[in-house]
Structure 1
Amino acid sequence: MKMTSEALWEDRDVRFDISPQQMKMRPGERVVDKLDAIEDTKGNSGDRGRLVITNLRLIWHSHTMQRVSLSVGYNCIINVTTKTVNSKLRGLTEALYILTKANNTRFEFIFTNLVPSTSRLFTSVIGVYKAYNSSKIYRELKLRGAIIQNKQLRILPQEQIFSRVNGVWNLSSDQGNLGTFVITNVRLVWFANMNDQFNISLPYLQMASVKVRESKFGMALVVESSEASGGYVLGFRIDPVEKLHEVHKEISSLFNVYSQCPIFGVEFTIQDKDIEEDYDLNMMPRAYSLNSFGQANMMEEQQMEIPFADEPEIDDSVVETSDVLTLYLADGRHQDGEPVYAPELGLAVEKLKEGFTLQSLWEVIPS
């Protein structure tokens, strides 16, 4: 069976003057927040517009001319920080600065909230972007990941296991490797019985086709991944043949269900209750949460503290590096300094900013 689903571009592209059709939410895409008094300070200075924050991208459009718009996918974002700018509508103020790269071209965006004394623009955009980055395993093929613990799949927050199939031979090598299938509502997982670090996690989002065909090992289940994930061709043998066809039917069925409403894994809760006079109360509630299926749930408005902690990484196999380097370059205006001699390296390096050391910039785990 050939897998067919509309190509996902929303989180992987930067587009300008998009059509109303491209502004619509694709299956699985959800609006997280909506701000009605935002200026695109760099591209459309002096023009008041609306910023829609979804679980896949940022959409901005002008209030006066709907055709003046843009869509920024989170996967294109290189850096998000704040910057002091001179806005035509607010004067000298703090704005959100976003650096992106799409199709080998870099784009800069500066968004200014025209409602004073609110940090909602920063907390919503940065928070959702962090949630997107910490949930890549929902959307990307992963080889040899830390996904198995004690021969059991480490379940994701929105994941449900449907089947566990023993006696599955991975045909990637001449002798084959005996392992286990775990089939969920989000992905297909295989791991070797002798070494569970030899594994693969293939989300349905990256699955191009799944079929049963003849191989040199006999009838096999052949799964192809999308070009975006490397175009892998994975072969598996399951005995008896009747069981092989059952597994093929189950995977095909789960993919069809998934394609109707994909689970992208981006969870974020709005917790800032700043009052914005120009905010359209009929368009979106000020506070809501995403449930386990990524759908919006209404919440009563209440005063909450704004959290500044990073979103936890779902795949914790790798210890996150220190944020010192991020802070070092966070102003977005870094220029090369004068060269000085570093005795610990025996090299000439750029003169460091005050308060930073070579050790703090290079160490993986902060001391």
Structure 2
Amino acid sequence: MHAHAHTSPPLHLQPSQDREIQFDIPIRQLELRKGERTLDMLDTVEDTKGNNGERGDLIITNLRLIWWSHRSRRTNLSVGYNAIISINIRQATSRLRGPTQALYVLTKYNGSRFEFIFTNLVRNSPRLFTTIQAVFRAYDTTRLYRDLKLRGAIIQDNELKLLPREQIYSKLQGVWNLSSDQGNLGTFIATNIRLVWYANLAQNFNVSMPYIQIRSILVRDSKFGPALVIDTTARSGGYILGFRVDPMEKLEELFKEVSSLWTVYSSNPIFGMDYVLEGQPQTLKDVTVKREQDDVEVVDQDLESGRDVFAAYYADSSKSTDRQPVYSEELGLAVEELREDLTIDALWNVLS
């Protein structure tokens, strides 16, 4: 039984900052991961939806938006671009600026919709709008660097359409994809960013596997004999893909090569965003204060505090009709029936 496993830096165990939304996390968890870069930093931005009236820093990276309050950096947000549904500019009411144009960011995460409203407190500055919209477009058009793709338009005239900064390290003919009962014969390509296989007779039958989405690389027995087995992360679909290469020496050589490329990528991931602003933005390290300042403000929090933060950004846009009115003893009047996970107190705390 062949079972050679490759152990690389556990990329799949690192937080996927571009796919998550986090509220009020420890400041150390806001540190940039490998491959993440600060693209811009705006130091006078209000989180108008959840912290109206508070100034804060907005850090724009190639994976997410990070906002924290000047008053207490324990009050913060991390919004991954993959969770964003839409970005719009609309009128909002800021406690610091009054009625003004603001950036509305609608997101979806873990089945719930959240809305974030950011107001630039620097008057006559469109930088908040232009930068975030441009960076999100750049993220959206570079998904092949980060997402596993099946049957993509990635092959043209029997050649892989290379991504910017992508280099081919090997191209191997006569590789069987073992995903079907009979297997399919095709070509296997290893680059510095991903592994690609496509069928010889149907080039649109293909798979593109970024190293960022690979959990493990193995050589083990299959019903077709020894095979290169690639296990992908749950967030990419949890695929287990097998490839047969003859003779065994060539299979071992391919295994060593892709394992090495995966290790190199793990030490310095390439996420595909080369968006550059005029001037050099500050890094997160530059705008991080010493840890003792985190303890300046002591806030008494009860068990419902986490739910209040959650409720502050909840966008109940999925309902198509109003709920039935019910009598609220707390308010002494009829109100629209609340969702099971909300209370009058929680909503009052959001508005107060």
Smaller-chain TM-score range?
A: 0.7 to 0.9
Aligned counterpart for 2:200 among listed residues 172, 193, 204: 193
Partner Cα distance (1:174, 1:46) in 2: 62
Q: Residue by residue, what CA displacement relative to the aligned partner does 1:49-96 show, whole Å, maximum 9, x if unpaired?
A: 100000000000011211111111111111110111121111111010
Q: Which residue of 2 aligns with 1:250?
A: 257
Secondary structure of the residue aligned to 2:252 is helix
Q: How does 1:214-253 map to 2 (within 5 A)?
A: 214-253=221-260
2:216 maps to 209
* Corresponding residue for residue 151 of structure 1: 158
Q: In structure 2, what is the Cα distance between the partners aligned to 1:15 and 1:95? A: 21
Give the structure 2 partner of residue 7 of structure 1.
14
| Partners of 2:20 and 2:262 in 1: CA distance | 24
| Structure 1 position 174, deviation (Å) | 2.5
Whether contact under 8 Å (2:42, 2:59) holds in the other structure is yes
How far apart, CA to CA, are the structure 2 residues paired with 1:135 and 1:203? 12
Corresponding residue for residue 71 of structure 1: 78
Look up the equivalent residue of 1:21 and give its one-letter code.
Answer: R
Deviates more, 1:174-183 or 1:22-31: 174-183
Tell me the CA shift for residue 173 of structure 1: 2.1
Deviation at 1:175, TM superposition (A): 2.2
Q: CA deviation at 1:100?
A: 1.2
**CA–CA distance in 1 between the matches of 2:243 and 2:49?**
52
**Correspondence for 2:37 among 23, 30, 34:** 30
Distance 1:87 1:176 in 2: 61
Task: Provide the C-alpha distance between the structure 2 equivalents of 1:18 and 1:159, rounded to a whole number of angstroms.
Answer: 35
Q: Is the 8 A contact 1:160 1:185 kept in 2?
A: yes
Please state whether the residue corresponding to 1:121 is helix, strand or coil.
Answer: helix
Q: Secondary structure at the match of 1:22?
A: helix
Q: Which of these residues, 110, 115, 122, is aligned with residue 115 of structure 1? A: 122
Which letter does structure 2 place at the counterpart of 1:167?
Answer: G
User: Is it true that 1:137 corresponds to 2:144 in the alignment?
Assistant: yes
| Paired residue type of 1:154 | K
Amino acid at match of 2:184: N
Q: Is the 8 A contact 2:38 2:281 kept in 1?
A: no
SS of residue matched to 1:11: helix
Q: Deviations over 1:135-194 (max 9, x none)?
A: 111111111111000100000012111111111111222322111111001000011111
Alpha-carbon separation, structure 1, partners of 2:33 and 2:251 = 33
Q: How many Å apart are 1:2 and its aligned residue?
A: 4.5
AA in 2 matched with 1:221: L
1:214 and 1:86 map into 2 onto residues whose CA distance is 63
TM alignment of 1:266-305, pairs within 5 A: 266-270=273-277, 283=282
- The amino acid across from 2:141 in the alignment is S
Aligned partner (choices 44, 60, 65) of residue 67 of structure 2: 60
| Matched AA of 2:90 | K
Structure 1: how far apart are the matches of 2:86 and 2:204?
32
Report % sequence identity. Answer: 55
Deviation digits for residues 17-38 of structure 1 (CA, Å, limit 9, x no counterpart): 1212111100000001000010
Unaligned runs of 5+ in 2: 1-5, 284-316, 321-352
Corresponding residue pairs, total: 282
Cα deviation code 1:192-234 (max 9, x no counterpart): 1111111110111111111111122111111111111111111
Aligned mates of 2:232, 2:156 — CA distance in 1: 25
Distance 2:39 2:50 in 1: 24
- Contact in 2 for aligned 1:2/1:211 (Cα 8 Å): no
TM-score in terms of structure 1 length: 0.73
After TM superposition, the score normalised by the length of structure 2 is: 0.76
Query: Which amino acid in 1 is paired with 2:171?
Result: R
**Larger displacement relative to structure 2 (100-109 or 137-146):** 100-109
Write the deviation string for residues 242-273 of structure 1: whole angstroms up to 9, x where unpaired.
110010011111111111111111221325x8
1:283: how far off? 3.3
Aligned counterparts of 2:59 and 2:37: Cα–Cα separation in 1: 10
- SS of aligned partner of 2:136: helix
In the alignment, is residue 170 of structure 1 matched against residue 177 of structure 2?
yes
Q: Which residues of 2 match residues 266-345 of structure 1 at below 5 A? A: 266-270=273-277, 283=282
Are the counterparts in 1 of residues 40 and 282 from structure 2 also a CA contact under 8 Å?
no
Letter in structure 2 aligned against 1:213: R
Give the conservation status (yes or no) of the 8 Å contact 1:148–1:154.
yes
Change (3 A) 1:196 1:282: closer
2:304 match: none
Deviation at 1:282, TM superposition (A): 8.5
What's the RMSD between the two structures over aligned residues?
Answer: 2.2
Cα separation, 2, equivalents of 1:283 and 1:140: 29
Matched residues in 2 for 1:108 and 1:91: separation? 20
